[in-house]
């Protein structure tokens, strides 16, 4: 995993923490470095 990707993930996690303070919906970041994907999962119960 390269430095830019790590920085992107860190920024996403920081953003989501702020977002969750304002929102009642749970949000998760799902990183799959083998596939090279970062998913955001919003909602759920």
pLDDT of residue 1: 61
pLDDT value of residue 2: 85
What per-residue confidence (pLDDT) applies to 12?
A: 82
How much is the CA Rg of the chain, to the nearest whole Å? 12
**The pLDDT of residue 44:** 61
Mean pLDDT by 10 residues, the chain (45 residues): 84 82 78 81 70
Question: What pLDDT is attached to residue 31?
Answer: 80
Query: Taking a C-beta distance cutoff of 8 angstroms, is the pair 27, 16 a contact?
Result: yes
pLDDT recorded at residue 28: 78
Sign of the CA dihedral with 16 first, then 17, 18, and 24 last: positive
**Residue partners of 23: CB distance under 8 A and separation at least 6:** none
- Its pTM surpasses 0.75: no
**Distances in Å between the alpha carbon of 8 and those of 1, 23, 29, 37?**
11, 22, 12, 12
């Amino acid at each position: 995993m390269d430095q830019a990707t790590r920085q992107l993930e860190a920024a996403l996690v920081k953003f989501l923490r702020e977002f969750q303070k304002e929102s009642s919906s749970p949000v998760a970041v799902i990183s799959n470095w083998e596939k090279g994907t970062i998913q955001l999962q919003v909602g759920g119960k």
